[in-house]
């Protein structure tokens, strides 16, 4: 089975991607290749941040790899938290970040939001980008215990439950990361 390096230390993201790619690729994350660095995400977009991660792994380890940058964009908050989703409250903490969004959304009528992922693939000296978006709304309170990040407050369009109320298989059918990863997989099959 071919190996793919996923430039992340996020165990939740790794588990989602392993579930998406099982039987096709063995997915290794940064920890698996001995990289403990917190790769700086200094870009001004999801695409730039994802590409920074793949460039880092390529430079330091000479390995083809892929990386994602994902986040929640809330329309009423001028698309915040956006690229700052992981540290929106000033630190990495799912509960604190989610509570800050809920606090800022108090009394807001417009609850439209979307999750966005951009996957960067560094392969044979080239960089390729794949995007996935899922539209939805922000709930007024948390619901569900599955998933991570903002999943307990995000209800995708067409569903009456949050991502955190879905099992991983269901979420992987419709999530932003799954959409981007399907595009990546189709590209890898062609090339």
Instruction: Just list the catalytic residues.
Output: 69
**Triad 177, 161, 166: Cα angle to 5°:** 50
Residue 35 CA to residue 162 CA, distance in Å, equals 33
φ, ψ of residue 80 in degrees (nearest 5): -75, 155
Residue 139 CA to residue 162 CA, distance in Å, equals 8
| Burial class of 130 by CB neighbour count within 10 A (0 to 12, 13 to 18, 19+) | buried
Provide the total of helices (H) and of strands (E) in the chain, helices listed first: 5, 7
Asked if 75 and 113 count as a contact pair (C-beta separation under 8 A), the reply is yes
Asked if 116 and 47 count as a contact pair (C-beta separation under 8 A), the reply is no
């Amino acid at each position: 089975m071919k190996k793919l390096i996923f430039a992340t230390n996020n165990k939740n993201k790794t588990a989602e991607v392993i579930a998406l790619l099982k039987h096709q690729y063995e997915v290794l994350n940064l920890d698996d290749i001995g990289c403990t660095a917190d790769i700086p995400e200094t870009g001004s977009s999801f695409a730039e941040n994802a590409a920074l991660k793949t460039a880092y792994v390529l430079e330091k380890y000479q390995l083809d790899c892929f990386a994602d940058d994902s986040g929640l964009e809330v329309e009423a908050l001028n698309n915040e938290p956006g690229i700052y989703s992981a540290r929106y409250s000033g630190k990495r903490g799912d509960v604190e970040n989610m509570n800050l969004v809920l606090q800022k959304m108090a009394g807001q009528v417009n609850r439209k939001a979307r999750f966005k992922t951009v996957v960067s693939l560094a392969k044979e000296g080239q960089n390729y980008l794949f995007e996935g978006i899922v539209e939805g709304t922000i709930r007024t309170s948390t619901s569900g215990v599955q998933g991570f990040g903002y999943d307990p407050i995000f209800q995708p369009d067409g569903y009456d439950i949050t991502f955190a109320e879905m099992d991983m298989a269901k979420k992987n059918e419709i999530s932003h990361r799954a959409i981007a990863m399907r595009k990546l997989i189709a590209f890898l099959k062609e090339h």
